[in-house]
Structure 1
Amino acid sequence: MTPGHDRRRRGGPMTTAKADYPGRLARCRTLLDERGLDAVLVTDRHDVRYLSGFRGEDATLVVGADTALIVTDSRFYEQVREEVADYELVEHRGTDLLADSVNAAAESLGDGFTLGYQAGGMTHADFRGLRRAHGGRLRDVRRHVTHLRMVKEPVEIQALAAAAALVDLALGVVVAEGLVGRTETEVAWRLLEEYHARGAEGESFDAIVAAGDHGAQGHAIPGPRRIKPGDLVVIDTGARVGGYCSDITRTFAAGRVSKAHRKLYDIVLEAQLAGVAAVRHGAHGRDHVDAAARGVIKVAGYGAQFGHGTGHGVGLEVHEAPFLGSLRGDRLEAGMVCTVEP
């Protein structure tokens, strides 16, 4: 433990803003006319949480022009009553949540309604069951409901900032304890301890700790390798605060490093700074941000080794829109939160 370190200290600012659930519901309803729908069935658990505030699982939302239903089973009735204000609870008592959700929609909307659904997170078996239960017109809303989450509200930005600050502090503590002689797995577990000590709900994803040539693996799995003097150690990690994720990648030097390592580090740093400088309202994730970062690495002669995207959005999911890659990119708007990690 470093001098003056207080394990009770939390990782970021207190969240004071409130989520605008009525506004989110209203924005979801605008999709009905845009997509030619009478209602949309929301099954993605992150979208369910975003639209309603419900933090549990095994729940769906049915959103119509004058309908707002949340359908779940008895394990979550009381939780819904505590967390959800803008949706009517429909008690799911059968064995098929999707069928019960369609039946609840039919009771409210009548027969023959056009229902939007989220095919991207649904198995083929689920789709067949949904089609049998509905018997009417189904339209895939693709990512349109999920994309409502792209521009963040102040309460979301506060939670994201708190999650990032928590990881920043935890990394400082763990690295200050020394890296040489510890295994990758030990460092990963130590980070998790710090996250819990500081009040995080958990990790955003399994931490990546990779020393030496292991760091060349983009998503390396921490193992028993011991960190040696002179190693570069890549740590890619994040924590969840208030449901929101952070995602921080840093490269640490375990003692003195070679000139070759320093040169590579400086190239990546220059690429990152170029990408960050390109992030602005109206910029395109592919044509501006990724191109700026990728251009630096290509000029340095390492373009062939840069196979992944430059960045992505972060929120309730650690990887979400907007995307900033050479193959997939989105137009950026004020209020979006994204990583830049070439």
Structure 2
Amino acid sequence: MSPTFVRIHPPDVIGKYAPDSVIGAVGSGVAAAASAAPKAGGGGPIRKDTGSKLGNHAAWGHLDGAPNWRVDLDENPGVLLINVKSYFNATWFLLLSVLYEVCATIFSAKNIKISNDRLGLTRSAILLILFIVIHAVGNLHVFKGPDDFNGYGYFYVRLYWTGFGLPANIVEEYILLSVLLHVFVGLKRTWDMKLALVQTQGINVLNLAISGLMLLTFMTIHLFQFRFGDTDQFGPYYIRPPPYLINFWGISSLNLFWTSDASVEKVGVRDIYALEFQIFKNPLWSLFYIFSVFIFMYHACIGWKKVTPVLGIPRGHIWRVELIGYGIMIVMGLVYISFPLYVMATKPFAGYETTIQIPGREE
């Protein structure tokens, strides 16, 4: 009890009104607890507040004497209605956790033998979320026209030399391994743990598994439509790719993957811009894509709530990290939904070197 508490309360207030709150002297075990128990006719021995922050560290999940910068002890928002500092700290902890989980995604996990250990499920999920964010940002090039979007696609083709002889780059191969790890471990955990709970807890325990299988179906169709889609029908689209992968002179205008420099040789690339317009001009495919994005947001949000407690986030920041994660999933979902909506509402742009042609349509 603090000196202030002692001054304004009678000595037997604890024993009379809150006897269960007496735990005992810290570090003294059962004997200390017994000696500190309230006695008849009076309160227990009064312990002076030493100012120790051990209790605060315990509340925040740090019993190891963690430095104070790791723990946000000030919950007073000051002149603001929201404690902005706490959200900055929560974001920082989230970035550190994501960086660690991505670096330790596959080969440090125990699931190479495909057990139901959740470590591989968690780490593959973090990597896939990072990929989804990067992929969404990359796909924003569709708004800048065929040169940017087709140049963005050709950028990954130029990295095929990293793919160990396969028609893919090392990033795509690593993402594929992460997807397989996520699917197999998720199915293993569902088979071993979730199916037995259906009778007692209802079908809701399978929400992640069902939505995950729906996303796997969508992803398979999506890959065949775009990654392996037929662009030969459009013929090659000609761009001048920058010599060093990125057009550094075009950074200010966001022309990152092509150049208008006539001294650079033109290259025929896959016309994925025309392919996107061909597919999303079909209302059924657009609705299927938008529906699948909503399934992704649902799957990602309920999965995120399960992931955050095991990321090493300080306990008091977990709910903030959950909110940040929900925001990321929703924003990413809206970004992906914007692509088919944009295609359905507009006509394709003419390119700098090549005017796109969509068979069967007059644009």
TM-score interval, normalised by the smaller of the two chains? under 0.3
* TM-score, normalised relative to structure 1: 0.23
Larger CA Rg, structure 1 vs 2: 2
State the structure with bigger RCO (CA 8 A, min sep 6), 1 or 2. 2
* TM-score, normalised relative to structure 2: 0.22
Structure in which a larger fraction of residues adopt strand: 1
